[in-house]
Every structure is written in structure tokens, then in C-alpha cells.
Structure 1
């Protein structure tokens, strides 16, 4: 589950604080586990700041806290503040923007990029897949993603253009255009070397920040015509 820490503090030494944060980022490069960091200034109180730090999980946040560099920087941060900063720890139970970004990572990094190592980072272990190209209505588990991506990448060099994304509640709907060059066997069709395009829509349902279920709809007939399989 994604995790967010909110740090609330007051300081009249914002420039020194910024230099301190830059130094911490440099010292922890390659070791820190935070994925995103935002600092906001209170419009009605000039010395009041709120820092929001995102982590993949509470466990990863704890790893970050236990870095020796983090402990040293915290002591210096306290010295720059007017009083002790306050901390609020939050488990992220819903983040529509984050879900859309996760869906985008699948299309660009996993499908087109071939990075199968992050499949378990994006998809729930009991992920349920619904694909119009398959005889079975539902396939379960992350191996179905690895198998599908491998099969498509063996048959085509391709990319995805994400034409539109809509996030609502736990669902992310992606309208995409796929462009590929046919280089390997695909559904019994020998390589043609043809460049093809196909449009489709994917709906991902998220749970606790992971892709729990997916529905795939695509212009498969149009693709087969372009490959010369249909008259």
C-alpha cells in the first residue's frame, strides 16, 4: 500500500532549508526510497510550510528513515525550525492520479519497453484478466501479463500512444493506439514485415494501489486484415 508522510513546520530560514533538502537529496542518491516530494508554503502565514513525501509503502518509508543521512539531516532541519516539526503518517487508500500513472507505466515500461521485472510491482498477485482475443473469459495471476507481453513482443516491434485516460474511483480507462511491425509468428500468421496500427480500450480496476482486474477491447479484425489474414 502506498504511504505518505506529511511534515508540518515553521521556519524563517527557507533558503537554508532548501539548501539542506538539496544536500540530503544528493547524499541519499540511489539509496532513498521516496518516490515524490512536494513542499508547500502557507499563503496566509509566510513562515509555515508543509512537506508531503510519497513512498511505495510504509516499509520503504522506514528504510528511508533509517538511513544515517536522513537522521543527520533531520537534526539540522530541527535546528532551522521554530519549534519541533509535526509528522502525520498516512496509508494511501485512493489516488486516481497515481492509478493513471501506474496504468501508463504498464503500457510504456512493460508492454512496449519489455520490463517484466516490474509486473509484480504494478499488478496484484491474483490479478484477473479479461481479453476478447482469448477463448477463456478470465485468466488469473500476473503470469498472464508476462505471457501476453512476451507473445506480442515476439511477434511485433511496437509502441503504444495513449490517446486519452479517464480516472474515476478505482477505475482507469485508457484509449490507446498501437503501432507495430510484424516480425514473428502471430496467431499462425508468418512474419510479413508489415507495419500495422490498431486502436483499443483497456479498463484497469485498482485495489490498494495495484491493478486488480483488466478488460481489453481492441480492433483485432482490423489488425488481421492488415496482416492479410482476411479478405
Structure 2
């Protein structure tokens, strides 16, 4: 009897499949694919290879910066929502900065509200001491002098040019402009416009001005107003003899 081939029509289909499975090789896992080969650069010039390297470095650096920005935004959001500062941060830093800004804003009011607008509502401590040259003055003395300047210069305008704050001290550099159309602080009305600069150092205590030192160009003010005494002319007696003196 001739042996039947698996592929002959007469051979039962089930037996064909079983025979194929018996003779098929058995593998424990699918064959591994070879790793992808890097793009060949043998045909590239040195300039082209350098361009590829620079582009790769640029992409990596951009990815690092994006990741850093994302982490920084996450930390800022966490601090804003929870109030918990990251390690190394000091909560008193924010309080100190806020206190310095408050002190600067109070001293700005001395000029913007008091001397410019005549609203003297800036808080001063009960034991306030002012220093002007070698003399000292009280808060009442200072307010009287400020009102005297506004009488002498009704259009007085003082601008704050610079402020520096450190601990409980605030330094203010200011410029004053006005027209002397009134009388005040011993100055007669001259009708002249003046401009002077000055510096005031304030010491703050509990949100109040406790002490101040003021230095202004008083000599320049009197010169612009024409209030400086004119020096006397030299005597003509013996002029020929004195002219030859060394």
C-alpha cells in the first residue's frame, strides 16, 4: 500500500494539522530583533557631523530647561497653596522685606502728603527726636517748619529721587522745587523759583517715625532767592600801594 502524503486530498484534514504541529520547530520565545543601527555618518563631512552634534546638544539643553521650569512652577504653586517653604528658605525673609517696604512707604508720605499737599497725617512716635545740623527739634517744631515752607512756597513740589532701607533705617534723597510767592520761616516773598536737593535719614519703630536727620542745601536756597549778604567793596584808600602788595 502506497504511503499517503500529508498533502494528498484523501488524507484527513485533522491528521494533516496534527502532523504539521509535530514536525514544526518549538521555540520558547519569539526571536529577538537586532538593535537599530545608528545612522551612518561615514559619508558626512566634518562640518555636517559637527552640526549634528550641536543640534543634539541644543535639543538636550532645551529639554533640561523645560523640565527645570516645570519643577520650579510646581514648587511655587505648592508654596502658594500650602504656605510651606522649601528646604533652605527662611520665612522671616518675606516678613523682613515686607517691613522694609512699609517703612519706605511711610517716609514717602512725609513728602507726597505732608509737604506737597499739606496733609500731615504721617505717624510719629511720642518720643520723636529730629536733628538739623547741631540742633535738635521736636515733632511739633518739625510740623511748624513744614507748614512754614508751604506758606513761603505755595506751589512746593518735592519728589523722592531714591530710597534705601536697611533694618529700621530709611534714607531718602529728594529734590524740592517751588516759587517763593509767600512768607514763611523768616523768608520774605521774592517771587523767585528755586530748586534744591537734600537727604533725610529716618529711624522707624513699630511703623512710626522715631528719629530723623536732615541735610539740605540751605546756602543754595538763599543764593537763589537773592538773600545772601553782598560782600562790601574794598576801600579805595591807598589803592595804588595795596595793589602792589602780594
With the shorter chain as reference, the TM-score category is 0.5 to 0.7
* Structure 1 residue ranges without an equivalent (≥5): 1-41, 53-91
Distance, in Å, in 2 between the alignment partners of 1:50 and 1:209 is 29
Higher helix share: 2
Pick one of 135, 140, 143 that aligns with 1:146: 143
Residue correspondence of structure 1 range 21-170 to structure 2 within 5 A: 43-44=74-75, 49=80, 95-116=99-120, 118-119=121-122, 122-132=123-133, 137-140=135-138, 142-156=139-153, 157-170=155-168
Q: CA RMSD in A?
A: 2.7
Inter-partner Cα distance in structure 1 for 2:76 and 2:199: 47
Q: How far 1:186 moved relative to its partner?
A: 3.9
Q: Which residue of 2 aligns with 1:66?
A: none
Distance 1:223 1:46, change over 3 A: closer
Question: Does the CA-based 8 Å contact 1:107-1:160 persist in structure 2?
Answer: yes
For these two proteins, the number of residue pairs brought into alignment is: 146
Matched, 1:225 2:226: no
Compare the two structures and name the one with the higher strand fraction.
Answer: 1
Q: Whole-Å Cα distance in 1 between the matches of residues 79 and 170 of structure 2?
A: 36
Q: Deviations over 1:146-170 (max 9, x none)?
A: 2122111111121111111111111
Report how far residue 102 of structure 1 moved.
0.7
Distance 2:107 2:217 in 1: 20
Secondary structure of residue in 2 paired with 1:104:
helix
1:174 offset after TM fit, Å?
0.5
Q: Which has the higher contact order (CA 8 A, sep 6+)?
A: 1
Cα deviation for residue 46 of structure 1 reads: 5.2
- Using the size of structure 1 for normalisation, the TM-score is 0.56
TM-score, normalised by the number of residues in structure 2 = 0.53
Matched, 1:203 2:234: no
Is residue 160–residue 178 contact of structure 1 (8 Å, CA) maintained in 2? Answer: yes
Deviations 1:168-190 (A, max 9, x none): 11110001110011022245442
Report Cα offsets for 1:118-164 as digits up to 9, x if no partner: 13xx21122111123xxx71122x32232122111111121111111
- Give 3-state SS (helix, strand or coil) of 1:44's partner: helix
The higher radius of gyration belongs to: 2
Q: Gapped runs of 5+ residues in structure 2?
A: 1-72, 84-94, 231-246
